[in-house]
Structure 1
Amino acid sequence: MERLAYPDRKIRMVLDTDTYNEIDDQFAVIYALKSPERMQVEAFYAAPFFNELSTGPRDGMEKSYNELEKISGLLPEMGEMPIYRGSAEYLPGADTAVESDAARNLVERAMASPDDDPLYVVAIGAITNVASAILMEPRIVEKIVVVWLGGHALQWADTKEFNLFQDIHASRVVLDSGVPLVLVPCFGVASHLQTTLSEIREYVKDSGPAGNYLYETFRDCSTDHFAYSRVIWDIANIAYLNNGDWTPSALVHSPRLSEDFRWSVDTSRHLIRYVHAVDRNAIFRDLFTKLKG
């Protein structure tokens, strides 16, 4: 319960990201690095993904690793921060971890954490690396807090969301493990974090190499930006750590995840923190201000 309380202080964190999958991960990586007053980023983990941008989970993870390397060359803040390759496949079963440098590093880093200074594991992709680490060393649930962008809002008709859907075994491991979890849903919550090319051009472009990179990435994500907006989902997790007032939340019982990707309530289960809204304007104002600074 103490670790589910909002961390009104600077925290230590690692960021687990499928960086090549979308354009929002890049925003989240840079937002985290531009928020040193609230978070100390210790490492980055490349997460697997499989869609039209990859030939399989391994390829998606490798592309995400390379994208993190690319961002590292743009941001002095990223400096010598280590980047670890994650899982090359999804969990083959509910009790079977997948070996990776990322999962091993998470176990080592978590177990070295003082009891009064938990490691925040910010996950904005498939939760495979984190679930594998928990299966490798279950004691890390006493040393970490997971902040995961996964699934849709609890009232949504289904929760067949990309991060959660890719690896149902990993999703269940995290939801069932009892690890202190902050769940940030996509549709119904983070889906309010929409912006446009004109706004990005006005407030992000020319904000140094990183700002130009984000602008070009946004510009190239569509061939027609007329009356077009895009969700930058993943900054919701960083916003939560920056200011709890921008991401109202409540304690709820950890939901059960069905085979057909639906939530169900079981009041006998442990509690998690559930983010149920976002202040879109405050979050983008903070991001744009930090990029300009």
Structure 2
Amino acid sequence: MTRIPRTPSPAPAPRRWRPGETPWATIDGVAAPAAAPPSARVIVDNDFAGDPDDLYQLVHHLLSPAVTIPLVVGSRLREGDGFYPGADSATQAAAIARDVMDRMGCDAAEIVVAGSNTPLPDRGTPQPSSAAAAIIDEALREDTGLPLFYAAGGGLTDLATALLLEPRIAERMTLLWIGGNEHPELAAPPPGGMPIEYNLLIDVNAAQVVFTDSALPIWQIPRDVYRQCLVSSAELRRRVAATGPVGRYLHEETRAVVETVAAHGHAMPETYALGDSPLVLLTALRSAFEPDSASSRHVVVPTPALEADGTYTARPDARPMRIYTQVDTRLMFEDLFTKLAELDAWLASA
């Protein structure tokens, strides 16, 4: 659904910055003390041609100096998807990510790579792409001791391919995934919910590679939890759209979804789910002492086998995984709104 950008960007920001810089961070007009060095690396992987909640996540992550982002992967949607039905959704996702960065003045287009436009045909056959190669290179780096998180808000095609091509990377990063069905012992599906959750359905084979066939540590934010991430229409108007060109762009993209749904006879409520935002919360907004996602809740269980129908089969001797049951939406959204306002004030002062 995110509208494919024109080239060049129709609205490049008047001031420029690089990831890790925070020239907008001031106190009473004076530059704030330098932030601490990043505490982690984050590979961002999202289907930016789809639901625009991923645009909010990308902007928020780039505005968060607690993490460094070496790689942004534009990943695929299912062909025929209602948000973007074309066969080149990963290619378009990468173009959208570069456009968003240009709009916010972020000069780092080189970190954006496109994933595969096609899913894994089975659990043993990778789909090589520029993204998969870059994922392997980043995971195998020896020149940094920063922990590596893989923050995925869509399907897992490129991560699964990277694991199939180089299984050693499973020991060198942790996956945070927005996706997967509810775990029956923790939550029930929503009324009328898809039998196979949306992000899982993008590439079930890939998710099975990650859950069942690999040794990769997983922090899962399943459907019942990412559905908690609701913002109101009033918040989007006053806390997003009112924060200058970047905020207006984000708001326009979510409004386009609401209007499209309404045109098909389905009234939207006064809320929108920014379901990918926990990827920022759980990486950039961790506690300072004994760092962890301290303001959210999770359980630790042996990683179940993921079945083709989206269900889970217990494996008592499997590696442990986290399943999040609650996320701190107050911290997550207040931080987003405040950073958008700070960015806008800085861009407007050019």
Q: If the length of structure 1 is used for normalisation, what is the TM-score? A: 0.90
**Distance between the aligned counterparts of 1:17 and 1:81, measured in 2?**
16
Distance 1:274 1:137 in 2: 26
Q: Does 1:275 align with 2:324?
A: yes
> CA contact under 8 A between 1:150 and 1:163: conserved in structure 2?
yes
Structure 1 alignment gaps of length 5 or more: 1-8
On the 8 A contact 1:33/1:78 being kept in 2, the answer is no
1:264 corresponds to which letter in structure 2?
T
Q: What does 1:241-280 align with in structure 2 at a 5 Å threshold?
A: 241=283, 242-243=285-286, 244-280=293-329
CA distance in 1, matches of 2:129, 2:188: 34
Q: For 1:54, which of 77, 84, 103 is the aligned residue? A: 84
The DSSP-based 3-state class of the residue aligned with 1:69 is helix
Q: Determine helix, strand or coil for the equivalent of 1:41.
A: strand
- Partner of 1:73, secondary structure, is helix
The aligned residue for residue 206 of structure 2 is 170
Paired amino acid for 2:207: S
How far has the Cα of 1:157 moved from its partner? 5.3
Distance in 2 of aligned mates of 1:282 and 1:119: 23
**Alignment match, 2:217:** 180
Query: 1:18 and 2:47 equivalent?
Result: yes
State the alpha-carbon separation in 1 of the partners of residues 52 and 281 from structure 2. 17
Equivalent residues of 1:27, 1:214 under 8 A apart: yes
Q: Is the 8 A contact 2:61 2:280 kept in 1?
A: yes
Report the number of matched residues.
282
Shift of the alpha carbon at 1:53?
3.1
> 1 CA distance for matches of 2:60 and 2:107?
12
Q: 1:190 to 1:226 in 2, by over 3 A?
A: closer
1:208 and 2:208 aligned: no
Aligned to 1:284: 333
Alpha-carbon deviation of 1:137? 0.5
Equivalences for residues 1-150 of structure 1 within 5 A: 10-36=39-65, 38-50=66-78, 51-56=81-86, 58-113=87-142, 116-150=145-179
Q: What are the ranges of 5 or more consecutive residues in structure 2 without an aligned counterpart?
A: 1-37, 190-194, 287-292, 343-350
Distance 1:271 1:250 in 2: 10
Cα shift at 1:115 = 7.8
Contact map agreement 1:251 1:272 (CA 8 A) in 2: yes
Rg larger for = 2
Point out the more displaced range, 152-161 or 198-207: 152-161
CA spacing shift, 1:136–1:227, aligned 2, 3 Å? closer
SS in 2 for 1:267: coil
Match for residue 5 of structure 1?
Answer: none
Residues 1:100 and 1:227: Cα distance change in structure 2 (over 3 Å): closer
Alpha-carbon distance in 2 for matches of 1:233, 1:226: 16
- Give the letter aligned to residue 21 of structure 1: G
Structure 1 residue 77: Cα displacement: 3.2
Given that residues 180 and 272 in structure 1 are in contact (C-alpha distance below 8 angstroms), is that contact kept between their aligned partners in structure 2? yes
Aligned partners of 1:61, 1:101: CA distance in 2, in Å? 11
Report if aligned partners of 2:48, 2:94 keep a CA contact under 8 Å in 1.
yes
* Partner amino acid, structure 2, of 1:219: R
Instruction: Return the offset for 1:136.
Output: 0.6
Residue identity in the other structure for 1:238: V
- The one-character-per-residue Cα deviations of 1:38-96 (angstroms, maximum 9, x if unpaired) are 2111111111102023335x421122122112102112235344211101210111111
Identity %: 26
Deviation per CA, 1:163-216, whole angstroms, max 9, x where unpaired? 112211110111121112111112x21101111221111111232322111121
Q: TM-score, normalised by structure 2?
A: 0.76
Asked whether the equivalents of residues 119 and 145 of structure 1 are also in contact (C-alpha less than 8 Å), the reply is yes
SS of the equivalent of 1:92 reads coil
Equivalent position of 1:6 in the other structure: none
Distance (Å, rounded) in 2 between the aligned partners of 1:87 and 1:151: 21
* CA distance in structure 2 between the aligned counterparts of 1:76 and 1:162, rounded to whole angstroms: 32
The one of 233, 246, 251 aligned to 1:197: 233
Query: Counterpart of 1:237?
Result: 279
